């Protein structure tokens, strides 16, 4: 039975019994053996893999029978988690069980997150109701205790989270919802171990004076399984249907969170090693020869972001592309004092051997002048699964060799431009209201400029009216775009095996108002498909490549150089 059918029958049975006064949870409907039970964790940093018990919990689940998705996020309260749309996204996963734990960031003194108690209670009830509405089983979890030792009663914890824990207990009784009382269990465990022993699973951090102190809220690698075991023990009692998939002992007694594999972790909530990307970059060694790996947790980070020339071999990885956003609001007409680079770019890569993954890099100044999201002056730069968003001049490939793979790049006027050599492999290139896709300024002695291989060219989907014939339309798009115009006479651009929507002008290319550019520009296509592919209508000074010519334009041949660079190999570690 597929999950959708299971959820349907579970919800139907629950609805039927509720109508006659019965009590039944989705957990009481036994799943068939041909699919995995899906469990989603919803909460704050004390539930995450890196700083909480989430990774430890995974070690107690039978991997052949359970799929676990940890959607918890550091720095979130019951309110901010909803406000950011994270709960909506979690519900879309259609899980069988949702474990829900909040409280830490609802406490006073946390701007944008703190709530009063009535709001906290209302939020927690909504989590329960929303989960039940999709046929899932909500399980409330009281917040993991802070290790706050009572000075008047040595060895005892005086938890400021007790009011939140009690409210969750009361909600569980009122709404007849399953409850894991982690707060009580974690207090009992910590008190049995004593303050000194608890330091073994307490991370260290630096206070505002730079002094190393113990973190009494979060967990290090020794604490992941320790606290997760308490959750598992409670689940066996309150959710008997899950007992068969809960292991007696963890698969890995010392699991390592993904964050531990990085040299720096950026998180605005303070749960990482740095709160800003620039601070993490500063921590990278100068002229490094080994990769310095930076993980960026979801959030909106305000630029400008600079990778100085001395910070070689830096790799920046976003945890979630859509929610890890590097943003900059200024264009060239809005100068900012103190900026090293002209044109107000949001992100500048000046160091060789750079890699970026799972990032959204955007310029939000709008459609009124040059507004760079990204400028690359480096050699051997790789961008994987990134979104580059802007209007005019979104991406400046200024120098060196770059490789963009599985990226989304959008803009309107000359939004991919510059004198560098770049391959765009399996990318989506999106034109906003017509315009010009490329403005290459390839030097005459460079054999290659921009190569688009197996890309998809799309345009805005609003209707477009032909200004010379209001009764007919030559395109379903709002404005026609051309494939490029030469910023400098020897501009080199090629499209290989690309699908083009009908926003592409039949002529394809633009000479930028100079007939002489037609004698020098190196524009070509090969095997274009889609409504915008029209080789017979293309300008006569552009070239349709032969099979032999196209076969020579491989990533290796274009980017190899004298150092035999192989971008697809990726960072060594």
CA distance 435 to 414: 7
Closest to 373 in 3D by CA, of 421, 416, 317? 416
CA distance 227 to 249: 13
* CB count in 10 Å sphere of residue 32: 10
CA distance 432 to 425: 21
Longest pairwise C-alpha distance within the chain: 88
Supply 308's token pair: 């100085």
Place of tokens 């939000």: 364
Supply 504's token pair: 């592409």
Pairing of strands 408-418, 395-397: parallel
Residue 149 phi, psi (nearest 5)? -85, 135
CA distance 421 to 522: 13
Pairing of strands 456-459, 492-496: unpaired
For 180, which DSSP code?
A: E
CA distance 189 to 226: 9
Distances (CA, A) of 11 to 24, 27, 28, 92, 134: 10, 11, 11, 16, 7
Active site amino acids: 393, 414
CA distance 288 to 14: 60
> Which residues, 6 or more positions from 562, have their beta carbon under 8 angstroms from its beta carbon?
none
For 145, which DSSP code?
A: P
CA distance 435 to 412: 5
Reduced to 3 states (helix: H, G, I; strand: E, B; else coil), residue 355 is strand
H-run or E-run covering 111: none
Measured over the CA atoms of residue 212, residue 213, residue 214 and residue 215, the dihedral's sign is negative
- Number of separate helices (H) and strands (E) present in the chain: 13, 31
Q: Where are the alpha helices (DSSP H) in 134-178?
A: 162-174
Closest to 541 in 3D by CA, of 495, 572, 508? 508
> Which residues, 6 or more positions from 55, have their beta carbon under 8 angstroms from its beta carbon?
49, 70, 224, 228, 255, 257
Pairing of strands 212-214, 204-206: antiparallel
DSSP string, 487-551: SSTT-EEEEES-EE-TTB-TT-B--TT-TTHHHH-EEEEES-BSTT--GGGS-TTSEE--HHHHH
């Amino acid at each position: 039975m597929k999950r959708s059918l299971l959820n349907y029958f579970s919800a139907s049975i629950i609805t039927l019994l509720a109508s006659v006064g019965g009590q039944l949870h989705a957990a009481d409907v036994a799943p068939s053996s041909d699919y995995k039970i899906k469990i989603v964790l919803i909460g704050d940093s004390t539930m995450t893999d890196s700083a909480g018990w989430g990774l430890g919990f995974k070690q107690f689940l039978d991997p052949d029978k359970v799929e676990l998705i940890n959607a918890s996020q550091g720095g979130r309260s019951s309110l901010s988690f909803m406000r950011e749309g994270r709960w909506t996204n979690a519900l879309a996963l259609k899980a069988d069980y949702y474990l829900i734990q909040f409280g830490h960031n609802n406490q006073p003194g946390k701007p944008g997150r703190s709530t009063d108690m009535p709001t906290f209670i209302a939020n927690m009830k909504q989590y329960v109701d929303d989960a039940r509405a999709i046929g899932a089983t909500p399980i409330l979890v009281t917040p993991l205790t802070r290790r706050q030792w009572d000075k008047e009663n040595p060895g005892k914890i005086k938890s400021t989270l007790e009011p939140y824990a009690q409210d969750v207990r009361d909600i569980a009784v009122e709404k007849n919802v399953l409850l894991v009382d982690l707060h009580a269990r974690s207090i009992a465990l910590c008190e049995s171990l004593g303050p000194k022993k608890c330091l073994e699973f307490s991370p260290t951090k630096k206070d505002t004076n730079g002094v190393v102190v113990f973190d009494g809220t979060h967990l290090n690698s020794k604490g992941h399984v320790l606290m997760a075991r308490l959750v598992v023990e409670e689940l066996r009692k309150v959710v008997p249907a899950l007992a068969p998939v809960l292991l007696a002992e963890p698969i890995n007694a010392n699991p390592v969170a993904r964050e531990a594999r990085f040299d720096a972790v950026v998180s605005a909530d303070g749960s990482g090693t740095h709160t800003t990307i620039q601070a993490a970059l500063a921590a990278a060694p100068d002229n490094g020869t080994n990769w310095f790996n930076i993980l960026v947790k979801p959030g909106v980070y305000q630029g400008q972001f600079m990778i100085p020339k001395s910070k070689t071999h830096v790799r920046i990885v976003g945890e979630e592309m859509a929610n890890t956003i590097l943003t900059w609001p200024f264009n060239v007409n809005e100068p900012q004092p103190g900026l090293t680079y002209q044109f107000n770019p949001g992100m500048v890569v000046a160091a060789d051997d750079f890699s970026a993954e799972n990032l959204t890099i955007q310029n939000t100044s709008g459609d009124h002048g040059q507004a760079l999201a990204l400028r690359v002056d480096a050699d051997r730069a790789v961008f994987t699964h990134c979104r580059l968003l802007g209007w005019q001049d979104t991406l400046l490939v200024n120098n060196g060799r770059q490789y963009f793979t599985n990226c989304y790049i959008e803009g309107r006027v000359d939004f991919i431009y510059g004198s560098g050599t770049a391959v765009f492999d399996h990318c989506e290139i999106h034109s906003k209201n017509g315009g010009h896709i490329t403005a290459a300024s390839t030097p005459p002695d460079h054999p290659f400029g921009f190569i688009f291989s197996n890309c998809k060219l799309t345009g805005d989907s609003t209707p477009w009216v032909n200004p010379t014939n209001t009764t007919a339309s030559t395109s379903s798009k709002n404005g026609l775009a051309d494939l490029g115009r030469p910023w400098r006479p020897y501009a080199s651009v090629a499209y290989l095996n690309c699908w083009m929507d009908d926003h592409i002008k039949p002529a394809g290319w633009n000479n930028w108002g100079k007939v002489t550019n037609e004698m020098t520009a190196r524009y070509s296509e090969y095997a274009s498909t889609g409504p915008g592919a029209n080789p017979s209508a293309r300008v006569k000074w552009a070239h349709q490549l032969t099979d032999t010519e196209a076969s020579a334009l491989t990533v290796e041949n274009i980017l190899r150089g004298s150092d035999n660079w192989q971008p697809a190999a990726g960072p060594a570690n």
